[in-house]
Structure 1
Amino acid sequence: MTILLDSLYKRIGYRPTKPVAFADLPEFLSLLSLQFPFENGAVLNKERTPMTKNDLTDALLNKKRGGLCYDLNAFLYYILKEIGFSVHMVQGTVFNQQERAWAQTGTHIAVILQKANETYLLDTGFGINLPLAPVPFSGETVASKTGAYRIRKVKTDKGDYLLEMDKGDYLLEMDKGEGWQTGYAFTMKPIDEKVLTKVRDAIFDDKASPFNKHPLASKLTKDGKIILSKDHFTKHTESGVTKEKVEDGEFAAIFNQAFFD
């Protein structure tokens, strides 16, 4: 076992008795989701982490921070590659459910895994909309505690495939749709660190970016999810939903306490 994998396994509480296999990925992805929040602190603080394995490992493991899709899914890619899986990264465009329109073009990153003759999508950086398991290109539905997910081959100007979601009772308060919804479109073209860097810079600098204006954070928990904005801290648990007002200057303290317990 490498130093990276040993450190990661200790961080997420994963105790493998053998090398991580494909069948272990749902448990592995679920443990990752409980440790690494989706958050934009680095963007607001103008901290441009280089998109390399060493720099992302230092940021996420040693400095105990989260990140956006290009951080979290690039880190996932480096981890899976180190384990020995056949993986590459791809680029996508998120569909904004509120505005019923595509968001900032090409700024979502996901991971493609090949196993024998089968292809799967993995994503640990799509907010709290995480399949928590490899999603097959066969069209088969994958269900997790966050909802149901599937991939459809549909030609769009943003890519030839769609990740679709049926969130059921797990819909965010802002989502008004029902049934299957488009999460994002994506291409199958492999991307490298240069493309990752361009995606990162677009999120940092583009006026169309939804992540360079106000602080936000979200993470799955063992019994639900937590969502922190500049105005409210919302907890979803098995016993219900609580929503607390966030006063000026409180975001950082709440984030550090609630997201890295």
Structure 2
Amino acid sequence: MEGESGLWSGDELDLDAYLARIGWQAGRGGELAPDLGTLRGLHRAHVRAVPFENLDVALGKPVPLDLKSLQDKLVGRRRGGYCYEQNSLFAAVLERIGFTVAGRGARNRSRGATLPPVTHALLVVTIDGEQWLCDVGFGWQGPLEPVPLRDGGRVEQSGWTFGIKAEGEGIHVLRSLRPQGWADLYAFAPQTLYPGDFTVMNHYSSSHPQSRFLGQVVAQRPGEDARRALVRETLSVVRPDGTAEERVVAARELIATLRSEFGIELDEEERTGLERMHPAGV
């Protein structure tokens, strides 16, 4: 059943530790309640604090999705993660607070005319009968706050504009407004997905030879003033007015860049492994 209580292990969550991780303070962020104000505040605080990254996949490590492992990595060790990790943790947070939350699976459209499999995981939250798309795990192109899940829905978030377009078979498309016009980000059906479905998609993305996450470093952050992405050796920065810049990150700069641009702290083994596989040399 969509939004079924306990699916996301919210009762096992260390909520205080999570709130400290994202910098949530009751005096400034407001009291926690299953309402739209809380949802917006948590969503924005999460994407500001927790970077998108695939570093465990790049290093050939497993990517567990049980709540204990997610809390240890994203909260305790202050690492980031990709969509299954981020949105599974966020679902547990929302469930714990009392929101009605359900999973969805999406097909990425941000890479042009290719037809990839459904591998992106996102959330839908229902408040007072209205559905909101929530996604803290789409990387640098993702929304800062929830997006109303209705055809023609449009929101502006710190200079970045997102919208929803309905298609046939109940499909909804998340889009972003660029200087050249609307660009599709991903499309998803109304079918509810559960934690086990996220596990299946996670297995493909973390181990299948055709997964784009294997064999390369990916770190991203959807900031307010600028959005940053490191893919392999290229660091890209895009601003709300559409201006962009790129530069090559050498191997000797990699660890410092991950720390300064994305807030990612690594242990010695991780640092050595990533520097060894980096394609930009010394």
TM-score category by the smaller chain? 0.7 to 0.9
- Which residue, 135, 139, 144 being the options, matches 2:147? 135
| Partner AA of 1:52 in structure 2 | D
Cα deviations by residue, 1:76-106 (Å, 9 ceiling, x for unpaired)? 1111111110001111110143x42222x11
**Which amino acid in the other structure matches residue 78 of structure 1?**
A
Distance in 2 separating the partners of 1:39 and 1:116: 34
Return the letter of the residue paired with 1:6.
D
The structure carrying a bigger helix percent of its residues is 2
**Matches for 1:210-225 after TM superposition, within 5 Å:** 210-221=212-223, 223-225=225-227
The CA RMSD measured in Å over matched residues stands at 2.4
Distance 2:93 2:189 in 1: 22
Percent identity over the alignment? Answer: 23
Partner of 1:200: 202
The 8 Å contact of residues 90 and 191 in structure 1, kept in 2 or not, is answered as: yes
Which residue identity is paired with 2:23? Answer: G
- Find 1:120's aligned residue among 117, 132, 151: 132
**Of 153, 166, 177, which residue of structure 2 is paired with 1:153?**
166
Task: Classify the secondary structure of the residue corresponding to 1:201.
Answer: helix
Query: Which letter does structure 2 place at the counterpart of 1:148?
Result: T
CA change 1:238–1:151 in 2 (3 A) is closer
TM-superposed deviation, 1:60: 0.5
Q: How far has the Cα of 1:195 moved from its partner?
A: 1.2
SS in 2 for 1:166: strand
Q: CA deviation at 1:200?
A: 0.9
Q: 1:250 aligns with which of 241, 250, 253?
A: 253
TM-score normalised per structure 1: 0.84
Any gaps of 5 or more consecutive residues in structure 2? 1-10, 265-282
Query: By how many angstroms is 1:121 displaced?
Result: 0.8
Q: Distance in 1 between matches of 2:157 and 2:198?
A: 28
Query: Higher strand proportion, which one?
Result: 1
Give the stretch that moved more between structures: 206-215 or 245-254: 245-254
Q: 1:18 to 1:181 in 2, by over 3 A?
A: same
Residue deviations 1:93-132 (CA, integer Å, cap 9, x gap): 10143x42222x1100000111122111111111112222
SS of the residue 1:250 aligns to = helix
Given that 1:128 and 1:146 are in contact with CA atoms closer than 8 Å, whether structure 2 keeps it comes out as: no
TM-score (norm: length of structure 2) = 0.78
Once residues 209 and 104 of structure 2 are traced to their aligned partners in structure 1, the CA distance between those partners, rounded to angstroms, is 23
Give the conservation status (yes or no) of the 8 Å contact 1:37–1:217.
Answer: yes
Aligned to 1:202, what secondary structure does the other structure show? Answer: helix
Residue 23 of structure 1 deviates from its aligned partner by 1.6
Q: Which residue of 2 aligns with 1:259?
A: 262
Within 2, Cα distance between the matches of 1:137 and 1:232?
A: 34
Deviations 1:148-170 (A, max 9, x none): 222222126xx7221122133xx
Match of 2:67 in 1: 53
Once residues 50 and 231 of structure 1 are traced to their aligned partners in structure 2, the CA distance between those partners, rounded to angstroms, is: 27
Number of residue-to-residue matches in the alignment:
247
The AA in structure 1 aligned to 2:104 is: V
CA contact (8 A) 1:129 1:146 kept: no
Alignment match, 1:37: 51
**Within 5 Å, which residues of 2 pair with 1:70-109?**
70-97=84-111, 99-103=112-116, 105-109=117-121
Q: Is the 8 A contact 1:123 1:131 kept in 2?
A: yes
- Alignment correspondent of 1:8: 18
